[in-house]
Amino acid sequence: MRVLAALSGGVDSAVAAARAVDAGHEVVAVHLALASASPSATPGRARGCCTIEDSRDARRAADVLGIPFYVWDLSERFGRDVVDDFVAEYAAGRTPNPCVRCNQKVKFAALADRALALGFDAVATGHYARIVEGAEAVTGTRELHRSHDLAKDQSYVLAVLPPHRLATALFPLGTAATKDEVRAEAAARGLALADKPDSTDICFVPDGDTRAWLGARLPEGAREPGDVVDSSGRRVGTHDGAAGYTVGQRRGLRLGVPAADGKPRYVLSVSVAERRVVVGSAEELAVDVLSGDGAVWCGPAPQSGQRLGAQVRAHGAELPCTVEDLDDDGGVRVRLDEPARGVAPGQLLALYDGTRVVGSATLAA
Amino acid sequence: MTAYLDHAADTPVLPAAAEAVLAEMTRAGNASALHSSGRAARRVVEESREEIAAAIGARPGEVVLTGGGTESDNLAVKGLYWARRSGADGDPRRTRILVSAVEHHGVLDPAHWLGEHPAGLGAQVEELPVDGEGRLRLDALRESVERDPASVALISVMWANNEVGTLQPIAEVVELAARHGIPVHSDAVQAVGQVPVDFAASGLTALSFTGHKLGATTGVGGLVLRRGTPLVPVLHGGGQEGGVRSGSVDAAAARGLAVATTAAVATLDERAAALRALRDQLAAGVLAVVPDAVVRGAVREEHRLPGLLHITVPGAEGDALLYLLDARGVECSTGSACTAGVPQPSHVLRAMGLSDADAAGALRFSLGRTSTTADVARVVEVLGPVVERARTAGLALAGS
């Protein structure tokens, strides 16, 4: 196959590309320029997925692997579909997951479309997830599964890929045992980026301070101060903009009035329109029904009554649940066996059947 | 088999130059040292300088050896500016730097750096417009100079454009500047060895050239500086090269530069004729398979480099074309500079009046000493399907 390997400049995607080469594919590397193309905008940025340094590391990895290397400028798409979307979601009081959006709109959409049009058969990335097909696939279709290394599993951020996108996706790291194994493999292959630190934060927030980053970008209305109230409506503090708070958040609430029971308080809900943040106890945070919309099924759609596992944040625990309702407009409702806390609207509700990703929906308020 | 059509980026080292470099570089001796080995190295450097000077119509003392074209451009732009603005014979009124809008970044960037940095002492950079062929508009230059001649520190106009191959009206620029005593620098990196260049006859104050475009090694070049021209150095240190460019002189590289420059100039006429024939064959073949491709640059032969063909392909992106051509054994360029490999709309094509959409599908084929009809045939063979595929990819991206 002719495979386009997306190289971020990190160790995972480099090893993924190397494995694609080993598998006998004709591999070409591409690094995505996602931030502003202006050179003066990036120097000194220590972190992120699109610094000049990352581009250089990606190019060097391609050199070591002996494969051609290109940089594709998808910054416009990324800015519109990921960064602007991120701000708009927060402005609406939701908590978006930009990695999900990037996979859905950039890597496995714009990038994949361009790759296929240029004659490639598949796009390989360094995500920890597994493709299962053939006799092993119980659904009879190409399936997306959790990686063997459950600690690194990234299937959650891929749960938005419909079958025609999975059809051209390759995840060569899905069968790796651990991240340490991947680092060791990188070192053994002579890839100098073997000991490069993992990228953890949001790549377009350079210093990791999402609140400050958002503060400079949210529309005026979303930054107006307002009240922090408890579930009885009693004012317990003030905020300088409801957007930016996340359901389940405990830190940084700066409440003036202590809780009656002295226990920690969490954000229960956020209303940007009413400039209100509601806080309460851990018990009040608990929900046992999850509703989502905009469902995407990676394979066959689930059935009402089907027993599945729900995951509501990246690297979150899988929560046993039963599908209660599915509608024709992409609406999904599941009932959890045990109540969950900190389920933030805007995050992805990913559904699993064993290790298989069934699909996902965006959590509604 | 790979067809290499990127000689304007780098052309193979002439075997005789490679041999000369190899023979020299295994010998010890710093050309500044006083002992025998040092004297021997110095002799090699000075003989090389004399040969280079002879090949390009300069006096040996006017040839400053540098690390290549970008260094020469920086030295000329900054060095002339500072000398004219604040040197011993400087005049603080001289704050204007006039450059053509199609200069290489080696000239544009130091000029704009002077314009933005405190070290520029208030420099004002004016980019002069070009016509649709990429040729400097002399009326604009005249207007700009005559508006206030006493405030012009220097003019820099390239001899031949590196993207579209258009030759600039150097004689006219020099004539106009001379009337007001303004020094003129020309980046002749693409011109030396390609078209006749005679420094003395040109009347230029300074001229940049580089080795790896004419068959010498990368990392050596020169700034030809008219005798007696005040210049503030950029590199300070041991005072080599008349104090203008400190740093131990690379005798081996200088030897290679001399051999290659001499050979390039000596064979210029016959090579230019052969390159023109190949280029015309390429242009005809390209237009036969991609009839709506547009050849950019100058139309008249005396305004063009002999071995360069620049086209734009409507509806295709240059980097997609490059990838698809590379995968089929054709190596060329979009012609424009990249930042971390990200294609940017070419400032040259923009200055020529092209829209960003038109400029997106740019391809530069540049031929050289080793080019053959087989190279041309290979391009013509693969270009049709490549363009078709690139256009589909462009549509896919626009629509997704």
Contacts of A275 (CB under 8 A, 6+ apart): A224, A225, A226, A227, A242
Domain positions in chain A are 2-126+172-195, 221-284, 286-363
Q: How would CATH label the architecture of A2-126+172-195?
A: 3-Layer(aba) Sandwich (3.40)
User: Which residue, among A71, A81, A116, A123, would best test binding to B if mutated, counting the most B CBs under 10 Å from its CB?
Assistant: A71
Q: Which residues of chain A lie closer than 8 angstroms to B342, CB-CB?
A: 33, 37, 71, 73
In the numeric block, which tokens belong to residue B251? 């005798």
- Residue A8 annotated as binding? yes
Contacts of A247 (CB under 8 A, 6+ apart): A95, A266, A267, A268, A269, A270, A285, A342, A343, A344, A345
Of B319, B324, B396, the CB nearest to A113: B396
- Give the active site residues of B: 338
What mean pLDDT do residues B128-157 have?
98
- Residue listed under structure tokens 């040197």: B87
The model's pTM is: 0.87
Contact (CB, 8 A) for B14 and B216: yes
Of A39, A68, A117, the CB nearest to B326: A68
For B177-234, what is each residue's pLDDT tens digit? 999 999 999 999 999 999 999 999 999 999 999 999 999 999 999 999 999 999 999 9
Helices marked H in chain B — which ranges? 15-25, 36-56, 69-86, 105-116, 138-147, 170-179, 199-202, 251-266, 268-289, 318-327, 347-351, 356-360, 373-399
- Residue A231 annotated as binding? no
Share of chain B above pLDDT 70, in %: 97
Buried/exposed A239-269: b ≥16 CB within 10 Å, e otherwise: bebbbbbbbbbeeebeeeeeeeeeeebbbbb
Quote the minimal CA–CA distance from A224 to chain B in Å: 36
pLDDT computed for residue B319 by the predictor: 86
Quote the minimal CA–CA distance from A73 to chain B in Å: 6
Contact B396/A72, CB-based, under 8 Å?
Answer: no
Residues on chain A bordering chain B, Cβ-to-Cβ distance under 8 angstroms: 28, 31, 33, 37-39, 52, 55-56, 59, 68-73, 109-110, 113-114, 116-119
Spatial separation of the C-alpha atoms in residues A57 and A63, rounded to whole Å: 10
Beta strands at B221-225 and B338-339: parallel, antiparallel or unpaired: unpaired
In the numeric block, which tokens belong to residue A228? 């922090």
Q: What is the CATH number of domain A221-284?
A: 2.30.30
Rounded to the nearest integer, the mean pLDDT of chain A is 89
For A181-219, what is each residue's pLDDT tens digit? 999 999 999 998 877 877 767 888 877 888 888 888 988
Contact B324/A119, CB-based, under 8 Å?
Answer: yes
Q: Which residues of chain B lie closer than 8 angstroms to A56, CB-CB?
A: 340
pLDDT computed for residue B242 by the predictor: 93
Q: Which fold has domain A286-363?
A: Elongation Factor Tu (Ef-tu); domain 3 (2.40.30)
ipTM of predicted complex = 0.83
For B296-350, what is each residue's pLDDT tens digit? 999 999 999 999 999 999 999 998 999 999 999 999 999 876 655 677 789 999 9
Contact B327/A39, CB-based, under 8 Å?
Answer: no
pLDDT computed for residue A39 by the predictor: 37
Spatial separation of the C-alpha atoms in residues A23 and B1, rounded to whole Å: 25
pLDDT computed for residue A215 by the predictor: 84
For B29-77, what is each residue's pLDDT tens digit? 999 999 999 999 999 999 999 999 999 999 999 999 999 999 999 999 9
Spatial separation of the C-alpha atoms in residues B269 and B33, rounded to whole Å: 40
Whole-angstrom distance between the N-terminal and C-terminal Cα of chain B?
Answer: 36
Could you give all domains of chain B from N- to C-terminal order, each with its CATH number?
Answer: 3-10+268-399 (3.90.1150.10), 15-265 (3.40.640.10)
**Residues of chain A where predicted confidence (pLDDT) is lower than 50:** 37-49
Contact (CB, 8 A) for B114 and B122: no
Spatial separation of the C-alpha atoms in residues B119 and B74, rounded to whole Å: 14
pLDDT computed for residue A47 by the predictor: 37
Beta strands at B184-187 and B206-210: parallel, antiparallel or unpaired: parallel
